[in-house]
Amino acid sequence: MTVTSEVKVLKNYINGEWVETSGTDMLEIRNPANTDELVVKVQQSNAEDAQAAIEAAEKAFPEWSKTPSPARGEYLFKIAAIMEAEADEIARIIVQEEGKTYADAFKEVNYAAGIVKFYAGEGRRMTGRIVESDMPGVQIELHKEALGVVLVVTPWNFPLSIPAWKIAPAILSGNTVVLKASSETPLTAQKFIEIVERAGVPAGVVNQLVGPGRLVTDMINHPAVKAITFTGSNRVGNLIYKEAAKDMKRVLLEMGGKNPLLVMEDADVDAAVQLAVAGGYGQTGQACTATSRVLVHKDIRQEFTDKLVEASKKIKIGNGMDEGVTMGPQVSDGERQSTLDLIKKAKAEGGEILTGGGIPEFDGSDKGYFVEPTVIGGVKTEMTIAQEEVFGPVISIIEIESIDEAIEVANDVAFGLSAAICTRNLTYMNRALNEIQAGIVKVNMTTTGTFFQAPFGGYKQSSTGTYKELGSEAVDFYCQNKTRYINSN
């Protein structure tokens, strides 16, 4: 029986008002842990709606860009305060439409609030500098200016924190924004925009469009859009990059990962297993920094494997709101099928399914998009499962014989987002930190998780690489630098 009580139909937020969408296609969002539960209906927007959102942002830009950055930061402080006060409600929305556990969702809300507070504080640290001149009486000033309208395109896997870490530095820097969030998690995006409205952010500064991804191309080509920031798949990211390049528009892309955890012969095996479990199964493996490959030294490979299989079997799968559940479903049937297909291909190419590998059986499991926590042994670097991003709860084990081989295998993929090493050996630590080709390298930590005061971004096909997200460095993407010469003679 379908649950339909109090189902919302979402609207766009344009120029400070909630307005009906103009499209005719209707999208239904269902709880991925119980597809009988209808969460929200989305009547899709069309090109006219997208045009209106961009025009509202364009109109608001001149006044907003003149607002002092400390005053812009005050709005962010208000947004963060509301997020923290309503963390439970927001977390429940995330669980309901995305499927992650309540603990993970609640953590995301507070992480997102921390991001917003960090950039609120940056409002009082927006500085230029003076450069010494060759001529007396001439002053040279380096000054940051906002770009204009920024198109923000975000994914479903972190439906609150990723919009927050893009929008906060964008508007703090004086830009105005149009958010096109994932169609999989529109209710979380709307909740965030409702908070922006309640915080008193002026009309047109932040606009939200609920609609399909096909609208993005025309939005990129709108002359008022000066920059595009996107997190998602490499396929879509490459399309965005090519489209934006036609007018040489600024682009920031954060895309896939194939993140290795190196477990050396001197590692604490029990600790390494816990890091692999947290990195591989946290968020149901649906994170770009998820631990997808574990490169284990041959001397401890069997012990590590046995303990990882044992720990994987203890994962409790189910609805993220149920007590004791430690892993929820995948977000959609398409994502689940993609994971199952890669598992099947790994087996066909010679991998051994040591645990999991299919759809779990428990009361209600047939109503959700569940996949068993899966460990695959005997993986070789040339296998598909060792090269392609899975984006599901799958850990591949690759045996290595030395730190040289570990680093070589770690780098033998198209991606370079995150990596970690488990070791007590300082030489191993330093070699990993210096030689692994990834934007983030950690020692005795998970491949997942970032601190918002530090920059985030990858190498190779994981990122455009020119700019970073998070940290003070993120502001650089949203600003252009002007050199001002002043002759006072």
Query: Of 184, 254, 335, 389, which one is the catalytic site residue?
Result: 254
Is 382 labeled as catalytic in the residue annotation?
no
Report how far residue 36's alpha carbon sits from residue 167's, in angstroms, rounded to the nearest whole number. 34
What is the side-by-side strand order in the sheet with 34-43? 8-9, 34-43, 26-31
Report how far residue 458's alpha carbon sits from residue 257's, in angstroms, rounded to the nearest whole number. 8
Name 375's bridge partners. Answer: 355, 395
Q: Is 408 helix (H, G, I), strand (E, B) or coil?
A: helix
| Number of residues in the chain | 489
438 near 460, Cβ under 8 Å?
no
Report how far residue 257's alpha carbon sits from residue 414's, in angstroms, rounded to the nearest whole number. 8
Token pair for 312: 């994987």
Nearest CA-CA partner of 13 in 150, 160, 197:
197
Contacts of residue 486, Cβ cutoff 8 Å, sequence gap at least 6: 138, 139, 140, 141
Tell me the residue type at 260.
P
What is the helix (H) or strand (E) element at residue 127, kind and residue range? none
Tell me the residue type at 433.
L
Residues with a known catalytic role: 254
